[in-house]
Amino acid sequence: ACSELAPVALRGFATAGVNLGIALGQLLSNAVVKAFGERSDRWAYRGPFATQLFFALFLIVFLPFAPETPWYLARKNKLEQAKKSLQKLYGTGYDVDSKLAGIMATIEEEALNKSSELGFMDCFKGTNRLRTGISTGVFLCQHLVGIVFVLGYSTYFFQLAGLDVSKSFDLGVGVTACGVLGNIVSWFVVESCGRRKVFLSGMASLTLLLLVISIMDVVPADAAKWVQAACTVIYAFVYFLTVGAMAFAILGEASSTVMRAKTIALATATQAVCGLIMNFSIPYLVNPDEANLKGKVGFIFGGLALLGTIGSFFYVPELKGKTFDEIDRLFAAKVPPRRMGDM
């Protein structure tokens, strides 16, 4: 929705900002677990659960004030409501009639190209096939670089590496804090450097960091565990600066206007399924009583991340500064994704 609510000049900031909410949530959860983890009473587990009620209350209070996207209203032929939404977003001095006319023209052109919103199977027909592949692929890449392994199990991983419990939780909070900082920095590069360049540089950097983490796991020196810890902190910063933030920007731009809701649903489902697989398999891989790979799991994700980097080079487009109509024309003309930034 934020890709439709924000103007073209701010679209990158808005979509990249979605990931900031995720980063802040992870930071808060680690901080809360750290704060209540040293307690020996019932509040050791009640505290983390109780803090979640705040967010539910926040949504209940403020969600009714969230504006509906004019694109959605236009697709439903609710033109007066779409006009009011545009006035609310851009102000009374903005030429909302011209903006609405442009929205309708884009929707009608997509409908003529048989991109009308019929069902999920239409996401895999015609030009939508590539657009759906790109949208789901960038979220798949988030798991190929081992986000669940490095961040989701960072505290547990630090303990396996030989750090005591207190230092492990401290580093866990530090990791997520660096993630928040990285996401904030992404706002300054998403428009200046573009989505494709930032995403690709992130994939390559994370691949290298994963390999360093895994190599340090076979080094017998005591300093190796601190190198692993440092790489994990750097990983969090780089991930949220690049792959984490840019995936949302690419999703909001690569998906077609009339199929956006279903494409986003498919991308979210892809992320959820991958997360389920990772959360099931990674504990087995790192657990001393099972596979006992510990940091050597980085070799697995390093290889997967390398494959993701190669695929991203060919299929991640640069759509910075382009209107949805211009993006539709690029896909309709079957321009290779890696060349779209040059058009």
pLDDT tens digits for range 110-136:
667 654 446 888 888 888 899 999 999
61/73 same-domain check: no
What pLDDT is recorded for position 31? 84
Residue 118 within a domain: no
99/10 same-domain check: no
86/164 same-domain check: no
9/130 same-domain check: yes
8/133 same-domain check: yes
Query: pLDDT digits over 269-307, tens only?
Result: 999 999 999 999 998 998 888 888 888 899 999 999 999
Nearest alpha carbon to residue 240 among 27, 16, 88, 60: 16
Per-residue pLDDT of the chain (343 residues), as tens digits, is: 676 777 777 777 778 778 888 888 888 888 888 788 777 888 888 888 888 888 889 889 988 888 888 888 888 888 889 888 888 888 877 888 888 888 888 888 766 765 444 688 888 888 889 999 999 999 999 999 999 988 877 777 677 667 777 778 888 888 889 999 999 999 889 888 989 999 999 999 999 999 999 999 888 887 888 888 888 889 999 999 999 999 999 998 998 877 888 898 999 999 999 999 999 999 899 888 888 888 889 999 999 999 999 999 999 999 998 988 899 899 989 999 999 988 7
Residue 338 within a domain: yes
Question: What is this structure's pTM?
Answer: 0.85
What pLDDT is recorded for position 236? 92
193/262 same-domain check: yes
Residue 84 within a domain: yes
Residue 134 within a domain: yes
Domain boundary among 81, 112, 143: 112
183/263 same-domain check: yes
107/144 same-domain check: no
Residue 289 within a domain: yes
Residue 120 within a domain: no
Which residues span the domain enclosing 248? 2-66+125-342
Number of domains observed in the structure of the chain: 2
Residue 58 within a domain: yes
